[in-house]
Amino acid sequence: MRIKTTADFQTMLAQCGDFLSLVIKSHHSIDQLLNITLEESLPNATHVELKRVSFLLKVDFTIGLGILRPEFRPIYNSINSVRNTFAHDPYAEVSQENARKIISTLKSIRPKILPDESCEPFEIRNVVETIFAIGFINLQVAYEALCVRKAESLIAGQMASETLSKNGRLNPKNLPVKEDFQTRLELYLSEKYPTIKLD
């Protein structure tokens, strides 16, 4: 099952009763979203076996491609570290010290993503849920922005091609260019990426 939206991810977090399930499902969801993001951004993604690429290397690819901001790398490093702890020992626990390291990582990100008052006192589960949620949400936002940019480029190209053709721009309703562009963009997104909504 693929978690497609932030709401799906939050529902999954709420339904995970134990840490092992929380960590494995959260990491898996982020890893799947990394795969989808890279498939969307790489021209010949089918030639790359993304399932064989490590989690952090996928994060580095998304940063290198300008999809994710570099300052978020420590968040994904912490996420992977927590996951590895449980992957090697399903009975592992997140210690207070590890939770403090996660909080420190979150506090170090600029611009600030975590208000100071949300950190103390803390429950370990909330800290773990928070870093996974922040990792998922940031990647989801980056993925959606990538899809919108691709769609905008495609629509602009179509409109330019139509304008240069013998018949001129195909605009039966005679809409202004900006309105025609917006209408086409919304239609394209609703068909290709139904979960993405424009502001």
Measuring CA to CA, which residue among 113, 133, 105, 120 is closest to residue 16? 133
Give a yes or no: residue 151 inside a domain.
no
* 114, 130 contact by CB (below 8 A): yes
> In whole numbers, what is the pLDDT of the chain averaged over residues?
87
pLDDT at 72: 94
Q: Within a domain: residue 95?
A: yes
We report the CATH number of the domain holding residue 90 as 1.20.120
Q: How confident is the model at residue 167 (pLDDT cuts 50, 70, 90)?
A: low
Residues 6 or more apart whose CB falls under 8 angstroms from that of 63 comprise 69, 70, 72, 73
pLDDT reported for residue 31: 95
Q: Is residue 80 part of a domain?
A: yes
Task: Please state the domain count of the chain.
Answer: 1
* Dihedral of alpha carbons 185, 186, 190, 196, sign: positive
19 assigned to some structural domain: yes
- Residues 11-61: tens digit of each pLDDT: 899 888 888 999 999 999 999 999 999 999 988 767 678 888 999 999 999
Listed as own residue / partner, the contacts of 2-10 with beta carbons closer than 8 Å and 24 or more positions apart are: 2/29, 2/32, 2/36, 3/29, 3/32, 3/33, 3/136, 4/195, 5/140, 5/195, 6/136, 6/137, 6/140, 9/133, 9/136, 9/137, 9/140, 10/133
User: The domain containing residue 42 runs over which residues?
Assistant: 6-143
Q: Residue 126 falls within a domain, yes or no?
A: yes
Does any domain span residue 44? yes
pLDDT at 156: 92
Residue 181 lies in a domain: no
Instruction: State residue 145's pLDDT score.
Output: 94
- Does residue 198 lie within any of the structural domains? no
